[in-house]
Amino acid sequence: MIARTPGRMFGPVLRWQLLRMRRWIVTLVAFQLVVGIGVAFGLGNLLVADDVAGRQYLVSGVATTVLLATGLVLVPSLVFRARENGALEYLLLQQFPRPYLLLADLLIWTFVATPGAVASVVLAAWHFDVELSPSPLVIVAGVATIMVAVCSGYLLGLLAPSLAITNVVANACLLFTLLYTPISFPSGNLEPWLVSAQKWLPSWYAADLLRRYYGLDSLADFEPMVSWLILGGWALALGTLATLLLTFPSRRITSVA
């Protein structure tokens, strides 16, 4: 299946992954769109009429929500199913650089998440009458965010012992991120100890960068360099760990009894 020439190896890996997921892609794109719009419009019911800052937080956080939901909920279950049905084991028997597999999935999941993220922000900004001035850097911040989310989901899907545990942990992580991370609300709403804990995690920095590059600088909590360093460090660490697990897989990872 995989070409032997190094420069031609990535294409076959990407095609294989696209063929494997072809039945799911349209459904996944639609799911992301529903999640984004549902979160924005649903949480909007908690706002008071004159809460301008609250509307800005909500609109600027909806894309982060969609991107994180992609990696933390959808990716783990599909990775685990690939272990379960032997697709991952077969793929890892082929001769190609293991980072290509992770890169191919990153491209696919970026494609899956982007329509929902963009549409939900546009619709939420229109609905809540929030004016945005996006910078081109919002694309880079979005890619870094989806990379962190997908690599996190990849690790969970590779290491979880069962699909049930995969789903429980994935949904617990998503709920914790949505309810206890300053994505759609200001950090002042949280207890001080929780704010301190969140400073070690990437989600707050991802939301902060996206907010800044939407043109809502007044809502940003960190300097851009700090956010880039933390988010980039997490992306590099998670991507490296996922690649190592794919490069030196144990029998427990490649298949499920």
Question: Is residue 187 domain-resident?
Answer: yes
Q: What is the pLDDT of residues 69-122, one digit of tens each?
A: 889 988 999 999 988 888 888 888 888 888 899 999 999 999 888 888 888 898
In which band, very low, low, confident or very high, does the pLDDT at 257 lie, cut at 50, 70 and 90?
low
DSSP one-letter code for 207: H
In which band, very low, low, confident or very high, does the pLDDT at 68 lie, cut at 50, 70 and 90?
very high
Q: What is the pLDDT of residues 136-148, one digit of tens each?
A: 999 999 999 999 9
Rounded Cα distance, 81 and 79, in Å: 5
Distances (CA, A) of 177 to 181, 198, 203, 204: 5, 9, 7, 9
Strands (E), the chain: none
The domain of 38 spans 6-254
Question: Is residue 30 domain-resident?
Answer: yes
Average pLDDT over residues 188-195: 92
* Angle subtended by helix axes 202-213 and 52-69, to nearest 10: 120
Rounded Cα distance, 30 and 35, in Å: 9
Angle, vertex CA 156, rays to CA 139 and CA 172, nearest 5: 85
Structure tokens at 227: 């956010």
pTM of the shown model: 0.90
Question: Is residue 1 domain-resident?
Answer: no
Q: Which residues contact 168 (CB under 8 A, 6 or more apart)?
A: none
| Total count of domains within the chain | 1
Q: Using alpha carbons, select from 182, 184, 189, 178 the residue that is nearest to residue 149.
A: 178
Helix (H) or strand (E) holding 204: helix 202-213
Place of tokens 């996190």: 152
DSSP one-letter code for 5: S
Question: Is residue 174 domain-resident?
Answer: yes
193 burial (CB, 10 Å; 0-12 / 13-18 / 19+) is exposed
Average pLDDT over residues 9-26: 86
The whole-angstrom distance between residue 8's C-alpha and the CA centroid of its chain comes to: 28
Question: Is residue 200 domain-resident?
Answer: yes
Asked whether the predicted pLDDT for residue 156 surpasses 90, the reply is yes
Average pLDDT over residues 16-29: 85
Q: Using alpha carbons, select from 94, 234, 89 the residue that is nearest to residue 158.
A: 89
Q: Residues of the chain with pLDDT > 70: what percent?
A: 93
Rounded Cα distance, 257 and 251, in Å: 10
181 burial (CB, 10 Å; 0-12 / 13-18 / 19+) is buried
Average pLDDT over residues 13-35: 84
Question: DSSP per residue over 58-70, as a string?
Answer: HHHHHHHHHHHHI
